[in-house]
Each structure stands twice: as C-alpha cells, then as structure tokens.
Structure 1
C-alpha cells in the first residue's frame, strides 16, 4: 500500500479549494485546473456529485488533511491515515497533503494548527511520524508550513531548516503556503524571502495563497478576503526561484461572487507571470 518517497513532478496548474458552499461555483469557474478538498469533510464511499463531475473532466482533486497531527509526540492515528488513504483512492488523487502542526496531546484537542517546536528532538519525532504516514498512504505525502501567532522559545532551527531536514530524511514533498510565510514575517519577524532562499523548493508539490485581516498589528490568516498584494509579491518571489507545479487559492468563509473568485485566480496568474517578466 505504501507509496514512499516519490520524486515525480505532478503538474497541477492554478486551482481553488473546493468547499460544499461553493461547489457549483467551482464547477463553473473558468481556468480551474485542480482543486483541493478538506479530507475530514469527505465520505470516500459517497463523494459529492460536484467532485465526481470534476474528476470526470480530468481535474485533479487533492485531499487535504487538517487533523492528523503529524507534529505531535503521539504516533499518527491509523484510522485517520486509513481515511486519508481511502480519500486518495476514491478521488484518484495524485498526492495527499497535511499540515506540519501540533493539534492534540494526551487526548486533548488544541482547536488550532499550532506550530511545532523546531528542536532536534522534535525533528526526530516528526521524521518518524512522516514515515508512518508514508507507509500507509498509496500516494506521495506533502506537508504544509503553518501560520503562527507565536514562536517557541527553544527553537534550534529555522522553519526552512526544519522543513529541509524533513525532506532530506523522508523524501516528503512540500506544500508551501505563501500566505503563511507572510503571516510569520508580520507576526514573528521571520523573513518570507529569506525562507524561500533556504527551502528545498525542488521538492515543491504545490502552493497555497489566501487572504486575511490585520488586527492591532497582528496578521490573521482567515481565508476570508482577497489576497493582499504583499502576499502576491511573496508568490512572485517564489516563482522567481522555481516553477511551481500548482498554485491554489484558499477561501473558507464569507464567500464572494463567482466573478470575484475568478478575478482572484486572474491576479494569482498575473503574480506568477511577473516572475517571468522580471527575473
């Protein structure tokens, strides 16, 4: 069943997060080349009709987990991994993605995607957890960097170094969220461009882009607003360093009109093209 490390590049294009509230919108939007669906919202044996329609058109659908807790001290729950695997098989997905995050401990749920302490001890734990996940999944596994409102005081590695070590040790692919890089730059002073210089972008699976809101000088990655220009600038910086296999817009609530979502996809393409125009 295990897929193991896979170096094959999967071309995805520009896409959008599929949500039940905008299922028909996603079907109608021009230029949607792939979609991503929250795995925990799916029943693999009874996929929503909209997702079946997209798959019949040949649109890749990627299950994206939010609750596996790959960054915790507990080993990944096999039932959750089996669900991710079933989603991947039902959707004929090219890969599965999850967050590099702490979500629970000692049976208690955090309620948030919390950053993992970037220590050598944590690196060993996460490495073992990734290998367990890879052994259960039928397709390549990608990990996403998370947005943070705080950093752990005992961090020994930068985020880029931590992710780079994980790639080296496990062959895991990367889902780089440029909005999260921007969030961490604003909230923690972690330079987004410096991170891009150090991340192993050759192992990039795809990219997330999303909007948010600033409150009292803190950036909140809410996925409920148009993507601000500074985040699109980070996307341009990424595209200047690597040709990403895919870039996906996340929008999770306060959904705008179909025209507004289409305009966001156009802005994303323009940001990607700026990297070619001004290398």
Structure 2
C-alpha cells in the first residue's frame, strides 16, 4: 500500500531500506569475529568496535555472557550464518531463517550476514561452502531465495563472496557481474571478503581488482579480512594466521573505491596472544588509511 512503511529501529531504515535499496548500512568500525575461545580477550581488547558471531553456535534464549556484556557496552553484534544455503535450487529452510531472525532480535543486531554459497542438495550436505554456478538460471533462482530470506528477517541481509578451489564450467558471468546483478534485483547488502577474493585469484586466476571494479560497493555492508596458507599450489583460507600483505593490499584497494561501514578480522583456530590480535587490528586500520595513496 502506498504510504505504508515499516521502520527498523536498529538501522533507521524504512520500507525498501530493509532490503538495502538505496540505504546506507550501519556504521560499524573495525571488529573481530567472536569465538568462545576469545570471549575474555575480546572483552578486554581496545579497538574492537563490533563483533560477528556464528549464528549456528547461538541459542538466542541463552546468549553467552560475553556477548551480553558486549551488547551492554553498546558493541554491535552481527549474526553470521554458514548453513542457510541460499545458493541452492531449493528455497531456504524456514527453520534456519527463523533461527537467524531470532538471533538478530536477541542481539539487537543491525543486520544479518550469510554466504552466497551452495551447501546442500536433495538433503545431502556438502560439508563446505561451495561456489554457485554463475548462470542466468542460477541468478533467477538465487534472486528468489534472497527475497524469501529478506522477507523473513527483521533486519537487512548481507551476502558474502566465498573462497573457491574450483569453478563451474558453464559460468556465464564473472563473480563481480553476478553479485552486481543480484544486488540490483534484490537490494541485498554485500559482505566482501577480500581474503576470499585473494584465494580465487591465487587458485583460479580471477583478478581480485577486476572483481572490486565490478561490484556495486555502494551496497557494501562490511568487509572480512583473514589469513591462510599455500599448500601444494592452492591457497587455503583457514583463518588461522595473520592476513598476508596481498590481502591487506586488497583491503586498501577496496577502500580506495568506497569507505566500508566496517572491516572485521576472522580468526578461527590456533589463536595468538591478545597483543598479536591487537596488532592485526592495527594493520587493518593502517591498510584502510593508505587508500588515498592508491588513486
């Protein structure tokens, strides 16, 4: 109905803004992925402006005390899904969407993020975040899936580009083109993982800078930075090491094109000292500050 609008008090968005159409995402700053092993570390660290938590690890009715403490301090917490499978031929699970929505409400989150990935088919789990076929038919199906997800969530949705060790033979679009058209048709936000762009450049020869140039960065929600390692000619995005310089350079390249609302460090295992994590956040800020020297 014309004139009827809904408003999300977390983001200030109204109406179409809940789908990210023409709306600026929440300002977040520089953050780190919350892990149970890092709960006290994150509480006492300086320079953590926001955190992201794996949604599948949460019980919305019984949040970890550390997350409650962070929220009481006004630190935004973003639920990050890894199992929705929005890139599948089947519609996303209503139960999984309901869980993401409950997490967003329990955390008073400014948005929810997920992966643009294929994770299951016909009830069989892939066990990995697989790249979607970048075809027109796939785009049509994923557009419908994204709209279903947006309608089920109380806050905006952002989708993350994934790391790949293979590509589909019948791709009709580049990753940048595919994401740009998906954003145009749905208004979905973008979570750009520059480490994943580097992985795809290393493994598949796909230019990360060309991908940045093709993306509608005005719809950027936030950015991921992470480390990995090379093994037998492939780059593995493990989130267990410091971000290598090429990944930080890509962050600088991105910041030369747009100011990201937030940049988040992912570290999932083999956790370093508090000081080392703090140094990684400092490196991120430095990489962002160098954007003016790129162009």
Aligned mate of 1:5, from 19, 23, 27: 19
- 1:236 is aligned to 2:252: yes
Structure 2 residue aligned with 1:129: 145
Structure 2 residue aligned with 1:79: 95
- 1:268 is aligned to 2:284: yes
- 1:51 is aligned to 2:91: no
Secondary structure at the aligned position of 2:19 is classed as coil
Residue 125 of structure 1 deviates from its aligned partner by 0.5
Residue 278 of structure 1 deviates from its aligned partner by 4.4
After TM superposition, which residue ranges in structure 1, 4 or more long, deviate above 3 angstroms? 1-4
Aligned mate of 1:211, from 209, 227, 232: 227
Structure 2 residue aligned with 1:95: 111
Residue 5 of structure 1 deviates from its aligned partner by 1.1
CA distance in 1, matches of 2:68, 2:231: 40
CA distance in 1, matches of 2:186, 2:214: 18
- 1:111 is aligned to 2:116: no
Contact 2:252 2:294 in 1 (8 A): no
Residue 216 of structure 1 deviates from its aligned partner by 1.5
- Structure 1, gaps ≥5 residues long: none
Structure 2 residue aligned with 1:256: 272
Residue 229 of structure 1 deviates from its aligned partner by 0.3
TM-score, scaled to structure 1:
0.98
- 1:193 is aligned to 2:202: no
Residue 9 of structure 1 deviates from its aligned partner by 2.6
- 1:163 is aligned to 2:179: yes
Aligned residues: 279
Contact 2:104 2:155 in 1 (8 A): yes
Contact 2:24 2:219 in 1 (8 A): no
CA distance in 1, matches of 2:231, 2:294: 33
Structure 2 residue aligned with 1:143: 159
Residue 276 of structure 1 deviates from its aligned partner by 2.7
Secondary structure at the aligned position of 1:206 is classed as strand
CA distance in 2, matches of 1:4, 1:128: 16
CA distance in 2, matches of 1:191, 1:29: 35
Secondary structure at the aligned position of 2:128 is classed as strand
Secondary structure at the aligned position of 1:128 is classed as helix
CA distance in 1, matches of 2:293, 2:142: 39
- Structure 2, gaps ≥5 residues long: 1-5, 7-14
Structure 2 residue aligned with 1:62: 78
CA distance in 2, matches of 1:277, 1:197: 17
CA distance in 1, matches of 2:275, 2:233: 30
Structure 1 residue aligned with 2:3: none
- 1:172 is aligned to 2:193: no
TM-score, scaled to structure 2:
0.93
CA distance in 2, matches of 1:208, 1:149: 19
Secondary structure at the aligned position of 1:55 is classed as helix
